[in-house]
Amino acid sequence: MSETPSLQVAIIGGGAAGLMAAIAARRAGAEVTILEKNQRVGRKLLATGNGRCNLTNTDLEISRFHGQNPKFVHSALARFDQYQTITFFEQLGVAHKVEAGGKVFPVSNQASSVLDVMRYELDEIGVATVLEFEVDAIAHQGKGFTIRAADGREHQADRVIVATGGKAAPQLGSNGSGYRLAEQFGHRVIEPFPALVQLRLNHTVFKHLRGIKFEGAVEVLVNKQTIDRATGEILFTDYGVSGPPIFDVSRTAGALLQKRKPVWLKLVLVADVSREALDQLLLKRFSDRPRKTLAFSFVGFLSKRLAPVVLKEAGIEDPERPVSSLTAQERQRIVDVLQDWRFEVVGTNSWTAAQVTAGGVEVRDLDPRTLESRLVPGLYFAGEVVDVDGDCGGFNLQWAWSSGWVVGRSAADVG
């Protein structure tokens, strides 16, 4: 590392992408300053992976990323992939483990350990951090930049990296300020909307189902055509549904709602058998104990609270009827509900509940190899502020690490 770095690099935002960019740029020889509007860096990082920090995913594929041009991520991911991420953190002291679905976590199960070692590295290599510096404007003068804070303070830099995050989790400091900074330089911003978030559905049944979980499948439908699908544990809430499969399809549903298209959600409560097999299973279950009531006949098969609702949705008003009174047509209607229960999607939960932002700075004006602005030399963008978002499971953090590494090296003039 040079003792007298020739380049002054300012990083706006001390989240995952900003911290990685700072380490990469400083290691490459630049003088680096992080400008963070909060009282400490990395607040949102502490909340990732339910506080465990899902560092990355071993099954890294372009198909797990979204935006107007998902292929844009290819170059950055190729330069700093999931295995380089694992090695990077192992070298900082974070031992890792791989869980179901390729999810990579610290052995400590603590997101704080990830932040702690990154902050230690920043101090060790000499990265400066200025806290409570809320950037109000950036002026480009000649080959340099003047960054102005809302309180009048200024900071000079040769290169600027915007890593301000999106709008998800505003309670942790994300307020979309980077979009305004991008637009000051003529960059276009794809309208942001919440992703990896719960879905709000139009029905009265949810007050009876709140808290019930089931292993099933979910499909997003437009004009009765399946657009997206996911499986796993689904949770009923008082407003609709939550759980990993819901988070996975919420991006698709949100994008369609942005376009004002009518969106429907299909729940498959029993997803591991065919319709015919389910019908035969129910027929045998009812035939074996014909004197049981309809509601009680589902004990051991469905949640006790779920069964009466399913029966009512199937048009069976009296759940205390004996199963011997059930007609074949009524049984078919029960199968319909268990495997094709549809709800109108009326929206998502708010930014406060969202794990990530969809939309952001349009990638057509960024160089995919360096993430430098095509409009303003020396200006870079990394992380969630860009129109890139990933599936649940470590993909969004991987984009933060990859894009942060690339812009840090690029801003320090390292190929």
pLDDT digits (tens, 9 = 90+) for 277-324: 999 999 999 999 999 999 999 999 999 999 999 999 999 999 999 999
What gap in Å lies between CA 241 and CA 92, rounded to an integer?
39
Q: Which of 103, 104, 111, 164 has its CA nearest to residue 135?
A: 164
Cross-strand pairs, 231? 217
What gap in Å lies between CA 181 and CA 329, rounded to an integer?
61
Residues forming CATH 2.40.30 domain(s) in the chain: 195-270
What gap in Å lies between CA 193 and CA 351, rounded to an integer?
8
User: Please, is 411 exposed, middle or buried when counting C-beta atoms within 10 Å of its C-beta (0-12, 13-18, 19+)?
Assistant: buried
What gap in Å lies between CA 345 and CA 323, rounded to an integer?
34
Q: What percentage of the chain carries pLDDT values higher than 90?
A: 96
Buried-exposed string 140-164: b where 16+ CB fall within 10 A, e elsewhere: beeeebebebeeeeebebbbbbbbb
Per-residue pLDDT at 143: 84
Per-residue pLDDT at 3: 54
**Would you mind telling me the total number of residues written for the chain in this entry?**
415
What one-character DSSP code corresponds to residue 293?
A: B
Residues forming CATH 3.50.50.60 domain(s) in the chain: 8-192+356-411
Q: Which of 339, 283, 285 has its CA nearest to residue 313?
A: 339
CATH number belonging to domain 8-192+356-411: 3.50.50.60
Q: Which of 311, 345, 305 has its CA nearest to residue 331?
A: 311
Q: Hey, what are 179's tokens?
A: 């979009």
Q: Which of 106, 77, 98 has its CA nearest to residue 398?
A: 77
Under CATH, what is the fold of the domain 195-270?
Answer: Elongation Factor Tu (Ef-tu); domain 3 (2.40.30)
Phi-psi region of 67 (alpha: psi -120 to 50; beta: other; left: phi over 0): left
Residues forming CATH 1.10.8 domain(s) in the chain: 275-339
CB 150 within 8 A of CB 29: no
The architecture of the domain spanning 275-339 is Orthogonal Bundle (1.10)
Q: Which helix (H) or strand (E) holds 273?
A: none
The Cβ of residue 284 has, within 10 Å, a number of other Cβ atoms equal to 9
Where do runs of H (alpha helix) occur along 80-209? 82-92, 111-125, 177-184, 206-209
CB 256 within 8 A of CB 227: yes
Per-residue pLDDT at 2: 46
* Amino acid in the structure at residue 341: W
* First vs last C-alpha separation in the chain: 16
This prediction's pTM: 0.92
- Residue tagged 């544990």 (tokens): 233
Q: Per residue of the chain (415 residues), what is the pLDDT tens digit?
A: 445 547 999 999 999 999 999 999 999 999 999 999 999 999 999 999 989 999 999 999 999 999 999 999 999 999 999 999 999 999 999 999 999 999 999 999 999 999 999 999 999 999 999 999 999 999 998 889 999 999 999 999 999 999 999 999 999 989 999 999 999 999 999 999 999 999 999 999 999 999 999 999 999 999 999 999 999 999 999 999 999 999 999 999 999 999 999 999 999 999 999 999 999 999 999 999 999 999 999 999 999 999 999 999 999 999 999 999 999 999 999 999 999 999 999 999 999 999 999 999 999 999 999 999 999 999 999 999 999 999 999 999 999 999 999 999 999 986 5
